[in-house]
Chains A and B, each alone.
Chain A
Amino acid sequence: MNSETKQQILFGLYDDDDQLLDAVRKAKSDHLDIMDVYSPFPVHGLDELLGLAESRLHIAGFIYGALGTLTAFGFMTWVFTRDWPIIFGGKPYWSVPAFIPITFELTVLFAAVGMTFTFYAVSRLWPGAGNPILHPRITDDKFCIAFDTTACEEAEVNKLKNFFEATGASLVDVKEVQEEA
């Protein structure tokens, strides 16, 4: 994060999500290397166009959940059969049906907490993360395509600008941001 290198980003804003999808399609056929696409809400169909791999968040969620199941069930088993066995209501020490509610709750708790924190961590989202905000209207009503032009030559930049013009971008701008370490 503290790296001194600057990254130059060329971005264009579109007014509509359908327009954005058309533009991304054209960028793909022109073999332009899109850095990222930003939108005020999830635009469906974008993932496939950008070739984003399916998220593996749910796999992580399953692992966290399984961990919760084992923690709860294992702990209660240990307490009631090894550490401090007590008979409750004439039932066996290892009274499995009575363990189900807490086992279920901890499964859900571990899966939900684990997944949520993983989401924020891998997405680099946390208080003070300082992610660059290219334009204030992106979280409002504008759809943005961004190119990394740090190492680009004049001709390449012009080509990208022409692309924005051809696809009907309502605003094209350049922004310098701190490169992520």
Chain B
Amino acid sequence: MSAVVSPIREPLVRGHKTYHQITEDICAPTERAPGFAWVVAFIVAVSFLALYVFAVAWTIWFGIGTWDLNRTIGWGWDITNFVWWIGIGHAGTLISAILLLFRQKWRTGVNRAAEAMTIFAVMCAGQFPLIHMGRLWLGFFVFPYPNTRGPLWVNFNSPLLWDVFAISTYFTVSVLFWYTGLVPDLATLRDRSKGLRRKLYDMFSFSWTGAAKHWQRWEYLSLVLAGLATPLVLSVHTIVSFDFATSVVPGWHTTIFPPYFVAGAVFSGFAMVQSLMIIARKVLNLKEYITLEHIESMNKVILVTGTVVGVAYLTELYIAWYSGYIYEQFAFYNRVFGPYYWSYIGMMSCNVLVPQIFWVKKWRRNVFLTFLLSIFINIGMWFERFVIIATTLARDFLPSSWSYYSPTWVEIALFTGSLGLFFTLFLLFTRLAPVVAIAEIKHILKSAGDQYTGPDAQHGHDAH
């Protein structure tokens, strides 16, 4: 497992930490009373969650007619939100799994929170297809269970069913991966607490002891789960893109969709990680663990994936023209100049133009600018999904059925409410579990911290 480490690399753990200090610093937010900022944020988040519950109840009571979808535009904000949330989840798996396989040590500072974000984002995502079904209580029909209707099976050839399998597998594997990483750290919290709190953490840490054999198996498990999660995360957004790409609708029926969706997912996910981590490192006082180096690395990923997405947009336009197929050409002409031209502008400017400022190192390392940009990217990626879904459907084959669609308050409440659900879960997580992987940070302290002790260590101000 030893990686080649260069002493010239910037340290990933700052402040000359000892192992004990790391424990103290990272456990502290879970052990003290919540601060004012947390309480305010939590109240806001729970209010939006309440709005969400209300909007879901309204939808179920009155039916999805309350969304003002029509025969032409059958997918509106709901599926846009679904794809957006799923995409956000992808960054967590990328950081925890793909960067683990690539031995990128900077993942260690942010992986725990990013994986938590994945799980909460997938939870938000999963709600939208479910409530879109209309009759939520029949949601279990999507699973192939032996039933009294034949048994009548689901259509295994349908991309929508592939989605069911992809999303549920993705959620399950993400939870297992995240929780297995969390177990040793929950044991750390257990050994620092007393009474009921201790009993609870003992239960949730599965009585972890830190025995050598357990660590050996734990590392094996992490590595194999990372190996499984890597193709899994690529498959999930690929399958989400199949919802569109396997249809015969011009503008959707393209082979570029899977890679373009995956790049977009990583792009939006990293933006969300940035938004969350920039606040978390300040509020939870973790600037020595989530350093500027981490922020810069993630900004590099954002720059690359943003540019990949930009190239995909241009390729789409070019191929539409080059295909010589008038319906395809019209679909893309309509995207740029049609009734939803404003969402295309939003998408292009937020996703392609704005991230280009990250070519400048000084701006990559500017925390405020990064935060601002991450918000822009989140908005831009939401627009991307809206462009793909709504503009394509609004102008279909028959001009007589052309239509326009604007969301109702129910759909707006569902979207903002799902943000409430997400932030409620995330805020609870910061109180209940360590937001930075304690054991993993300790593990890299000597090889990648500012007390580097490996070969070629500079003896002097930094080493001791």
A residues contacting B by CB (< 8 A) are 17, 36-44, 46-47, 50, 52, 55, 57-58, 61, 65, 75-76, 79-80, 83-84, 86, 88-89, 91, 95, 98-99, 101-102, 104-106, 108-109, 111-113, 115-116, 119-120, 122-123, 125-134, 136-141, 144
Q: With contacts A139-B188, A140-B191 known, is A116 near B210, CB below 8 A?
A: no
**Cβ-defined contact, A136 with B191, below 8 A:** yes
Inter-chain CA distance A96–B232, complex, in Å, is 20
Which of chain B's residues have a CB closer than 8 A to the CB of A112? 172-173, 176-177, 225, 228-229
Q: With contacts A38-B210, A88-B155 known, is A116 near B180, CB below 8 A?
A: yes
Q: Which of B19, B219, B221 is in CB contact (< 8 Å) with A141?
A: B19
Q: Is B152 an interface residue (CB 8 A)?
A: yes
Q: Within the complex, what minimum Cβ distance (angstroms) separates B221 from chain A?
A: 5
Q: Which of B209, B218, B439 is in CB contact (< 8 Å) with A133?
A: B209
**Cβ-defined contact, B224 with A58, below 8 A:** yes
Which of chain B's residues have a CB closer than 8 A to the CB of A40? 19, 23, 184, 188, 210, 438-439, 442
**Cβ-defined contact, A79 with B153, below 8 A:** yes
Inter-chain CA distance A38–B208, complex, in Å, is 10
**Cβ-defined contact, B19 with A91, below 8 A:** no
Residues in B203-228 with C-beta less than 8 Å from chain A: 203-204, 206-221, 224-225, 228
Q: Which of A42, A75, A134 is in CB contact (< 8 Å) with B219?
A: A42
Inter-chain CA distance A133–B221, complex, in Å, is 23
Q: With contacts A102-B165, A113-B176 known, is A84 near B152, CB below 8 A?
A: yes
**Cβ-defined contact, A108 with B231, below 8 A:** yes
- Mostly helix, strand, loop or mixed at chain B's interface? helix
**Cβ-defined contact, B156 with A79, below 8 A:** yes
Q: With contacts A40-B439, A108-B228, A141-B19 known, is A125 near B156, CB below 8 A?
A: no
**Cβ-defined contact, B212 with A140, below 8 A:** no
Beyond A101-B239, A109-B168, A140-B20, 15 additional contacts (C-beta under 8 Å) are A38-B210, A42-B215, A55-B216, A55-B220, A89-B157, A101-B162, A109-B169, A112-B229, A122-B217, A125-B183, A125-B208, A139-B188, A139-B190, A140-B19, A140-B23
**Cβ-defined contact, B442 with A98, below 8 A:** no
**Cβ-defined contact, A102 with B191, below 8 A:** no
**Cβ-defined contact, A140 with B188, below 8 A:** yes
**Cβ-defined contact, B440 with A41, below 8 A:** yes
Which of chain B's residues have a CB closer than 8 A to the CB of A41? 184, 215, 439-440, 442-443
Q: Is B166 an interface residue (CB 8 A)?
A: yes
Q: Which of A91, A98, A108, A137 is in CB contact (< 8 Å) with B173?
A: A108
Which of chain B's residues have a CB closer than 8 A to the CB of A88? 155, 157
Q: Within the complex, what minimum Cβ distance (angstroms) separates A34 from chain B?
A: 9
Q: Within the complex, what minimum Cβ distance (angstroms) separates A22 from chain B?
A: 15
Q: With contacts A136-B192, A140-B192 known, is A101 near B212, CB below 8 A?
A: no
Which of chain A's residues have a CB closer than 8 A to the CB of B229? 112
